[in-house]
Amino acid sequence: MQAFKSIIVVSTFLIINPVLAQNSYNYPPTEKQNISDAYFGTTISDPYRWLEDDKSTKTEAWVKAQNVCTQKYLSQISQRDKIKARLTELWNFNKQSTPFKKGNLFFCYKNNGLQNQSVFFIKKTIKDEGQILLDPNTLSTDGTVSLSGVEISKNGKTLAYGISKAGSDWVEIHFKDITTKKDLPDTLKWVKFSGMSWKGNGIYYSRYDAPTASALSQKNTFHKVYYHQLGTTQDRDILVYEDKQNADYNFGANVTDDENYLALYISQTTSGNKLLLKDLTKQNSPFITIADDFENENTIIDNVGSTFYMRTNYNAPKYKLVQFTIDIPERVSWKTILSQTNNLLEGVRLSNKKIIANYLQDVTSKLMCYSLGGAFEKEIKLPGLCKLNAFNTDYTYNFATYSIAQFNAPEQIYYLDCKTWQSKLIFKPTTKFDSDNYTTERLFFSSKDGTKIPLFITHKKGLVLSENTPAFVYGYGGFNISITPGFGIDKAVFLEAGGIYCVINMRGGGEYGEDWHKAGTKCKKQNVFDDFIAGCEFLVSKKYTSYGKIAIHGRSNGGLLIGAVMTQRPDICKVALPTVGVLDMLRFHLFTIGRAWSVDYGNSENKEEFDCLVKYSPLHNVAKNRYPATMVLTGDHDDRVVPAHSFKFAAALQEKNESQNPMLIRIDVNAGHGAGKPTAKQIDEFGDMWSFVFYHLKMEL
């Protein structure tokens, strides 16, 4: 059954809340229009829909006026300059990504501290300092052009790299000769949600046709896979795969390390994928189906000749490793190499003819070594409550490089000898944040329905927690994504000032596998909000903090979390920071890639799912109430979660809030969803965010 929708425009008028007129915030007046939609007999008003038009001069003027209002408020916070100065000091430390080998060379990213974008380096050995291969800081004057991915040809001679402008998901692919360090003339446009996978003297990649309307908000349909041969123009690229019957399908193409096979991943949403394989050694060979539905996640790990190793959650919600051959690919022939355990099998690599598997055990990493047949050999010890991040190796390599992340220390890089299985620390950044003076503990609490939920708390060693302790509580809870230990240098200012940084691992994420994920999706989404609320209540019940000392924060799907929590329980915190959030749950599927989120959220065009969505949609649950001090954060070039979500939500809060707390929106101009944001913009954004938090939680730096 489809929803019947009628849009009625009767008149327009300006709204100024009389309560707000009595205070000093002076919000810009926001025009309201009498627009409504009918969903299965229920009429839903949408008075701020005109803010969805990102190209209109009226929306542009509203953005400017709101930013003036917000900056005027923030400029009166006395600690703002001090906070930004300390953030700049803390940010200024050497950073490096985990090196990887291609051909006879090593590659990694480096940042000397305050560079807007990290620089891509080439190294002859893993120990040498290396030379600059590509510096994205030279591609723009303000640092808003970023690298969105790199891929080195198998012979190590050519670099393919994507660039993104102003944080957009749209990418241009360029090529560089590694020996001469000169750019090649090839340019590939309108690339989105794509890898770059080398085969011979060219790459497989995915793109859309050029948009006919707004590139930042137009719905993305009919993804296609192409092969580009170096030295040719894009119009001569070979169409490898498309589906004219399914506009919403997305495709990812990946060539195996031996360049003999092409794996094609087909997705319709953010969960589950079909999987096809093609033998590239045979001319005009067909695609062979490995998985023919979207019910499970299936990822080729590696191959040894025609034998493939695949991580899958088919009949294994916490994942297993299976083996099959290209000649007999059907599920009935899959041989289980690593069975599902009580822990989440998060990643697998083959190295030195062994299987290296990393597991999540209560949201912290464990690293194990097995024979190719699946026999356990040993555990590779990792330090404390940490998360294994990058793990770079190859089936034939006798070494690996990996990094570990913790809440209280920046990422560190290790070299693993895959003959002795001994690890050696090869990179540890030097910071002005004294990590040794801080500690992280993992706790568990019961949610509303009794489900046990993990909670990480980081704070100064010896800090005596009480009702007066400021707490910053972060959550995500969606899309099978695990929120694991990781260091955010911006959090250091909060920790230094005596705050506790708390991360709640709600259902909807991937921390305990697919069952945990599904328990927080569609009409079970309320579980996510209940988990977060219960986490805040737990902190207060333990006298670690109090409601008047809590700030809550989440990004993207986490922005939805904060929007839902603050509208359901405005008393749960003193400060709310919904950032680049999905806040209009009835129309998210109409923009860019939003329709792919329906697997987690449901869709308002389905009656049962509409009935669930409308109950928690933040925009549609803003009522006259006393809301916490709120700063909505977004970017005007966000083409993942379009900024209209935040625009409309902020306008509704400004209209209906009955407390004396500010309802502000900070709109980062020439910025997107977050990826590739230059250092200067990050420091500016976090400086404003922490200034807002410090002021309302009555903290001193």
The amino acid at 479: F
Q: 408 is written with which tokens?
A: 């209280």
Q: What does the DSSP assignment read for 645-684?
A: HHHHHHHHHHHHB-SSS-EEEEEETT--SSTT--HHHHHH
Is 646 in the active site?
A: no
Beta strand extents in 9-87 (DSSP E only): 12-15, 30-33, 36-39, 42-45
Phi, psi (5° rounding) for residue 527?
A: -55, -40
Q: 421 is written with which tokens?
A: 């299985």
Among 513, 509, 530, smallest CA distance to 600 is for 509
Q: State the Cα–Cα distance between residues 375 and 504, nearest whole angstrom.
A: 35
The amino acid at 359: Y
Is 11 in the active site?
A: no
Residue pair 492/410 in contact (Cβ under 8 Å)? The answer is: no
Helices 679-697/80-91 angle, 10° precision:
130
Helices first, then strands: H and E counts in the chain: 11, 41
Q: State the Cα–Cα distance between residues 520 and 330, nearest whole angstrom.
A: 31
Choice among 556, 598, 604, 691 that is catalytic = 556
Choice among 174, 517, 553, 673 that is catalytic = 673
Strand-pairing partners, residue 44, are: 37
Beta strand extents in 87-223 (DSSP E only): 95-96, 100-102, 105-111, 119-123, 131-134, 145-152, 158-165, 171-177, 182-191, 197-199, 202-207
Among 69, 57, 41, 54, smallest CA distance to 648 is for 54
Q: Which helix (H) or strand (E) holds 357?
A: strand 354-361
Residues identified as active-site: 556, 673
